[in-house]
Amino acid sequence: MATIIDGKAISAAERNNIKEETAAFVAQNGFAPGLAVIIVGENPASQVYVRNKHKACGEVGFLSRVYELPEATTQDQLNALIDELNADDAIHGILCQLPLPKHLCESEVIARISPKKDVDAFHVQNVGRIMLGDYDFLPCTPAGVMVLLRETGVEIAGKECVVLGRSNIVGKPMAMLLLQANGTVTICHSRTQNLAEVTRRADILVVAIGKAKFITGDMVKPGAVVIDVGMDRDENGKLCGDVDFASVEPIASAITPVPGGVGPMTITMLLRNTLTAARRAASDSN
Protein backbone atom coordinates (compact mmCIF):
# COMPACT_ATOMS: atom_id res chain seq x y z
CA MET A 1 0.00 0.00 0.00
CA ALA A 2 1.35 3.37 -1.00
CA THR A 3 1.82 6.31 1.32
CA ILE A 4 -0.84 8.88 0.43
CA ILE A 5 0.85 12.27 0.04
CA ASP A 6 -1.52 14.63 1.86
CA GLY A 7 -1.39 17.92 -0.05
CA LYS A 8 -4.01 19.47 2.22
CA ALA A 9 -1.95 18.94 5.36
CA ILE A 10 1.35 19.98 3.76
CA SER A 11 -0.30 23.05 2.23
CA ALA A 12 -1.86 24.03 5.57
CA ALA A 13 1.52 23.81 7.31
CA GLU A 14 3.20 25.88 4.59
CA ARG A 15 0.43 28.52 4.72
CA ASN A 16 0.86 28.74 8.48
CA ASN A 17 4.58 29.41 7.93
CA ILE A 18 3.71 32.10 5.37
CA LYS A 19 1.24 33.69 7.80
CA GLU A 20 3.89 33.88 10.53
CA GLU A 21 6.52 35.23 8.12
CA THR A 22 4.03 37.81 6.83
CA ALA A 23 3.27 39.07 10.35
CA ALA A 24 7.00 39.53 10.95
CA PHE A 25 7.38 41.25 7.55
CA VAL A 26 4.54 43.68 8.31
CA ALA A 27 5.98 44.46 11.75
CA GLN A 28 9.36 45.24 10.21
CA ASN A 29 8.27 47.12 7.07
CA GLY A 30 4.91 48.67 7.93
CA PHE A 31 3.06 47.27 4.93
CA ALA A 32 1.62 43.93 3.84
CA PRO A 33 2.46 41.98 0.69
CA GLY A 34 -0.06 42.92 -1.99
CA LEU A 35 -1.51 40.68 -4.71
CA ALA A 36 -3.65 41.92 -7.60
CA VAL A 37 -5.69 39.38 -9.56
CA ILE A 38 -7.32 40.31 -12.85
CA ILE A 39 -10.19 38.27 -14.27
CA VAL A 40 -11.77 39.05 -17.63
CA GLY A 41 -15.23 37.67 -18.42
CA GLU A 42 -17.32 35.17 -16.47
CA ASN A 43 -15.61 31.79 -16.80
CA PRO A 44 -17.11 29.84 -13.84
CA ALA A 45 -13.94 27.86 -13.10
CA SER A 46 -11.82 31.02 -13.21
CA GLN A 47 -14.22 32.75 -10.82
CA VAL A 48 -13.82 29.91 -8.32
CA TYR A 49 -10.01 30.08 -8.57
CA VAL A 50 -10.03 33.86 -8.08
CA ARG A 51 -12.30 33.62 -5.02
CA ASN A 52 -10.00 30.99 -3.53
CA LYS A 53 -6.94 33.18 -4.12
CA HIS A 54 -8.64 36.20 -2.53
CA LYS A 55 -9.65 34.11 0.50
CA ALA A 56 -6.14 32.67 0.87
CA CYS A 57 -4.62 36.16 0.84
CA GLY A 58 -6.91 37.20 3.69
CA GLU A 59 -5.95 34.13 5.72
CA VAL A 60 -2.22 34.93 5.66
CA GLY A 61 -2.52 38.72 6.07
CA PHE A 62 -1.93 39.94 2.51
CA LEU A 63 -3.50 42.91 0.79
CA SER A 64 -5.69 41.44 -1.96
CA ARG A 65 -7.29 43.28 -4.86
CA VAL A 66 -9.49 41.61 -7.47
CA TYR A 67 -10.20 43.38 -10.76
CA GLU A 68 -13.26 41.89 -12.47
CA LEU A 69 -13.36 43.13 -16.06
CA PRO A 70 -16.19 42.58 -18.55
CA GLU A 71 -15.86 40.11 -21.43
CA ALA A 72 -15.71 43.00 -23.91
CA THR A 73 -12.56 44.51 -22.33
CA THR A 74 -10.11 45.52 -25.07
CA GLN A 75 -6.41 44.68 -25.18
CA ASP A 76 -5.57 48.36 -24.69
CA GLN A 77 -7.77 48.56 -21.59
CA LEU A 78 -6.22 45.43 -20.10
CA ASN A 79 -2.71 46.64 -20.90
CA ALA A 80 -3.48 49.99 -19.24
CA LEU A 81 -4.58 48.26 -16.02
CA ILE A 82 -1.40 46.15 -15.97
CA ASP A 83 0.71 49.29 -16.46
CA GLU A 84 -1.13 50.92 -13.55
CA LEU A 85 -0.49 47.91 -11.29
CA ASN A 86 3.17 47.70 -12.37
CA ALA A 87 3.56 51.26 -11.06
CA ASP A 88 1.59 50.68 -7.82
CA ASP A 89 3.98 50.29 -4.87
CA ALA A 90 1.26 48.59 -2.77
CA ILE A 91 1.06 45.71 -5.25
CA HIS A 92 3.92 43.20 -5.31
CA GLY A 93 2.33 40.43 -7.33
CA ILE A 94 0.14 40.62 -10.44
CA LEU A 95 -1.76 37.65 -11.78
CA CYS A 96 -4.05 37.64 -14.82
CA GLN A 97 -6.35 34.62 -14.62
CA LEU A 98 -6.14 32.42 -17.71
CA PRO A 99 -7.69 31.56 -20.07
CA LEU A 100 -8.59 34.98 -21.42
CA PRO A 101 -11.43 35.62 -23.89
CA LYS A 102 -10.33 34.70 -27.42
CA HIS A 103 -9.98 38.31 -28.64
CA LEU A 104 -7.25 39.02 -26.05
CA CYS A 105 -3.60 37.99 -26.44
CA GLU A 106 -2.29 35.96 -23.49
CA SER A 107 1.36 36.26 -24.53
CA GLU A 108 1.07 40.06 -24.70
CA VAL A 109 -0.43 40.14 -21.20
CA ILE A 110 2.27 37.87 -19.76
CA ALA A 111 5.01 40.01 -21.34
CA ARG A 112 3.39 43.20 -20.01
CA ILE A 113 3.54 42.23 -16.34
CA SER A 114 6.76 43.40 -14.68
CA PRO A 115 9.10 40.42 -14.12
CA LYS A 116 9.45 41.64 -10.53
CA LYS A 117 5.68 41.22 -10.02
CA ASP A 118 5.21 38.12 -12.17
CA VAL A 119 4.24 35.76 -9.35
CA ASP A 120 3.06 33.12 -11.84
CA ALA A 121 6.65 33.01 -13.22
CA PHE A 122 5.38 33.03 -16.81
CA HIS A 123 7.36 36.05 -18.07
CA VAL A 124 10.13 35.10 -20.49
CA GLN A 125 12.72 36.69 -18.19
CA ASN A 126 11.64 34.55 -15.25
CA VAL A 127 11.43 31.43 -17.43
CA GLY A 128 15.02 32.06 -18.53
CA ARG A 129 16.16 32.46 -14.93
CA ILE A 130 14.54 29.13 -14.03
CA MET A 131 16.56 27.50 -16.82
CA LEU A 132 19.73 28.97 -15.27
CA GLY A 133 18.72 27.99 -11.73
CA ASP A 134 18.90 31.64 -10.61
CA TYR A 135 15.30 32.59 -9.93
CA ASP A 136 13.08 34.55 -7.54
CA PHE A 137 9.82 32.85 -8.52
CA LEU A 138 8.82 29.39 -9.66
CA PRO A 139 5.60 28.42 -11.47
CA CYS A 140 3.24 27.54 -8.66
CA THR A 141 2.33 23.96 -9.52
CA PRO A 142 5.87 22.62 -10.10
CA ALA A 143 7.03 24.49 -7.00
CA GLY A 144 4.24 22.83 -5.04
CA VAL A 145 5.28 19.40 -6.31
CA MET A 146 8.82 20.01 -5.10
CA VAL A 147 7.52 20.90 -1.62
CA LEU A 148 5.40 17.72 -1.55
CA LEU A 149 8.44 15.62 -2.45
CA ARG A 150 10.59 17.39 0.14
CA GLU A 151 8.04 17.10 2.94
CA THR A 152 7.44 13.42 2.14
CA GLY A 153 11.18 12.76 2.42
CA VAL A 154 11.59 11.70 -1.21
CA GLU A 155 15.23 11.77 -2.33
CA ILE A 156 15.52 13.12 -5.90
CA ALA A 157 19.29 13.08 -6.45
CA GLY A 158 20.35 10.20 -8.69
CA LYS A 159 16.78 9.01 -9.27
CA GLU A 160 15.14 8.33 -12.65
CA CYS A 161 12.49 11.05 -12.98
CA VAL A 162 9.90 10.95 -15.77
CA VAL A 163 7.66 13.94 -16.50
CA LEU A 164 4.64 13.20 -18.66
CA GLY A 165 3.65 16.49 -20.32
CA ARG A 166 5.63 19.37 -21.83
CA SER A 167 3.51 22.46 -21.13
CA ASN A 168 5.18 25.76 -20.31
CA ILE A 169 3.20 25.94 -17.07
CA VAL A 170 3.95 22.50 -15.61
CA GLY A 171 5.91 20.00 -17.72
CA LYS A 172 8.95 22.00 -18.79
CA PRO A 173 9.60 23.83 -15.47
CA MET A 174 8.91 20.59 -13.55
CA ALA A 175 11.67 18.89 -15.52
CA MET A 176 14.06 21.77 -14.83
CA LEU A 177 13.43 21.65 -11.06
CA LEU A 178 13.97 17.90 -10.91
CA LEU A 179 17.16 18.30 -12.95
CA GLN A 180 18.41 21.04 -10.60
CA ALA A 181 17.74 18.64 -7.70
CA ASN A 182 20.12 16.19 -9.44
CA GLY A 183 17.47 13.87 -10.83
CA THR A 184 17.98 12.15 -14.19
CA VAL A 185 15.04 13.49 -16.16
CA THR A 186 13.07 12.27 -19.16
CA ILE A 187 10.19 14.32 -20.63
CA CYS A 188 7.44 12.35 -22.38
CA HIS A 189 4.67 13.68 -24.63
CA SER A 190 2.15 12.68 -27.29
CA ARG A 191 4.87 11.64 -29.76
CA THR A 192 6.87 9.51 -27.33
CA GLN A 193 7.36 5.96 -28.61
CA ASN A 194 6.78 2.99 -26.28
CA LEU A 195 5.51 5.27 -23.54
CA ALA A 196 4.84 2.54 -20.98
CA GLU A 197 8.45 1.35 -21.24
CA VAL A 198 9.63 4.86 -20.38
CA THR A 199 7.20 5.43 -17.51
CA ARG A 200 8.11 2.03 -16.00
CA ARG A 201 11.71 3.26 -15.61
CA ALA A 202 10.65 6.10 -13.33
CA ASP A 203 11.52 6.19 -9.66
CA ILE A 204 9.57 9.47 -9.61
CA LEU A 205 6.72 9.86 -12.12
CA VAL A 206 5.04 13.25 -12.56
CA VAL A 207 1.92 13.16 -14.74
CA ALA A 208 0.46 16.34 -16.26
CA ILE A 209 -1.28 15.61 -19.55
CA GLY A 210 -4.98 16.29 -18.90
CA LYS A 211 -6.27 12.79 -19.77
CA ALA A 212 -8.39 11.14 -17.10
CA LYS A 213 -6.93 7.95 -15.57
CA PHE A 214 -4.38 7.67 -18.41
CA ILE A 215 -1.59 6.12 -16.32
CA THR A 216 -2.49 2.62 -15.19
CA GLY A 217 -0.76 0.19 -12.86
CA ASP A 218 1.02 -1.69 -15.65
CA MET A 219 2.78 1.58 -16.64
CA VAL A 220 4.35 2.13 -13.21
CA LYS A 221 7.52 0.70 -11.68
CA PRO A 222 6.89 -1.08 -8.34
CA GLY A 223 7.84 1.30 -5.53
CA ALA A 224 7.71 4.46 -7.66
CA VAL A 225 6.61 7.83 -6.28
CA VAL A 226 3.68 9.01 -8.43
CA ILE A 227 2.67 12.67 -8.57
CA ASP A 228 -0.67 13.32 -10.30
CA VAL A 229 -1.02 16.92 -11.49
CA GLY A 230 -4.18 16.19 -13.50
CA MET A 231 -7.63 17.56 -12.71
CA ASP A 232 -10.20 15.74 -14.83
CA ARG A 233 -13.69 14.25 -14.72
CA ASP A 234 -14.27 10.53 -15.11
CA GLU A 235 -17.08 8.80 -16.99
CA ASN A 236 -19.43 9.49 -14.07
CA GLY A 237 -18.50 13.18 -13.85
CA LYS A 238 -16.48 12.60 -10.67
CA LEU A 239 -13.24 14.53 -10.11
CA CYS A 240 -10.17 12.45 -10.86
CA GLY A 241 -6.58 12.79 -12.03
CA ASP A 242 -4.43 11.68 -14.95
CA VAL A 243 -3.50 8.57 -12.92
CA ASP A 244 -5.84 5.61 -12.43
CA PHE A 245 -5.51 5.71 -8.64
CA ALA A 246 -7.14 2.33 -8.02
CA SER A 247 -4.65 0.38 -10.16
CA VAL A 248 -1.54 2.47 -9.38
CA GLU A 249 -1.85 2.92 -5.61
CA PRO A 250 -1.10 -0.74 -4.77
CA ILE A 251 2.09 -0.60 -6.86
CA ALA A 252 3.53 2.82 -5.93
CA SER A 253 5.43 3.56 -2.73
CA ALA A 254 3.81 7.01 -2.50
CA ILE A 255 1.08 8.75 -4.51
CA THR A 256 -0.86 12.01 -4.55
CA PRO A 257 -4.65 11.76 -4.54
CA VAL A 258 -6.99 13.88 -6.68
CA PRO A 259 -8.42 15.95 -5.14
CA GLY A 260 -6.26 16.76 -2.13
CA GLY A 261 -2.78 16.21 -3.56
CA VAL A 262 -1.06 18.75 -5.81
CA GLY A 263 -4.08 21.07 -6.08
CA PRO A 264 -3.92 22.64 -2.59
CA MET A 265 -0.24 23.49 -3.10
CA THR A 266 -0.73 25.72 -6.14
CA ILE A 267 -2.33 28.72 -4.39
CA THR A 268 0.01 28.21 -1.43
CA MET A 269 3.04 28.66 -3.69
CA LEU A 270 1.41 31.74 -5.23
CA LEU A 271 1.35 33.19 -1.71
CA ARG A 272 5.00 32.24 -1.22
CA ASN A 273 5.95 33.98 -4.49
CA THR A 274 4.04 37.12 -3.48
CA LEU A 275 5.83 37.27 -0.12
CA THR A 276 9.16 36.84 -1.95
CA ALA A 277 8.23 39.71 -4.29
CA ALA A 278 7.33 41.95 -1.34
CA ARG A 279 10.65 41.16 0.35
CA ARG A 280 12.51 42.08 -2.84
CA ALA A 281 10.56 45.36 -3.09
CA ALA A 282 11.33 46.21 0.54
CA SER A 283 15.01 45.44 -0.02
CA ASP A 284 15.13 47.55 -3.20
CA SER A 285 13.58 50.53 -1.42
CA ASN A 286 16.12 50.52 1.41
Catalytic residue among 6, 116, 117, 120: 120
Distance CA 178, CA 159 (A): 9
The answer to whether 77 is a known catalytic residue is no
DSSP 161: E
Residue 75 bears catalytic tag: no
Which residue in 140, 179, 160 sits closest to 225, CA to CA? Answer: 160
Q: What are phi and psi of 126, to 5 degrees?
A: -70, -35
Q: Is 97 known to be catalytic?
A: yes
Q: Which amino acid is at 253?
A: S
| Contact of 161 with 184, CB cutoff 8 Å | yes
- What is the rounded distance in angstroms from the CA atom of residue 5 to the CA atom of residue 262? 9
How would DSSP label each residue in 187-226? EE-TT-SSHHHHHTT-SEEEE-S--TT-B-GGGS-TT-EE
Q: Give the active site residue among 6, 53, 117, 221.
A: 53
For the chain, the first-to-last Cα distance in angstroms comes to 53
* Residues with catalytic function: 53, 97, 120
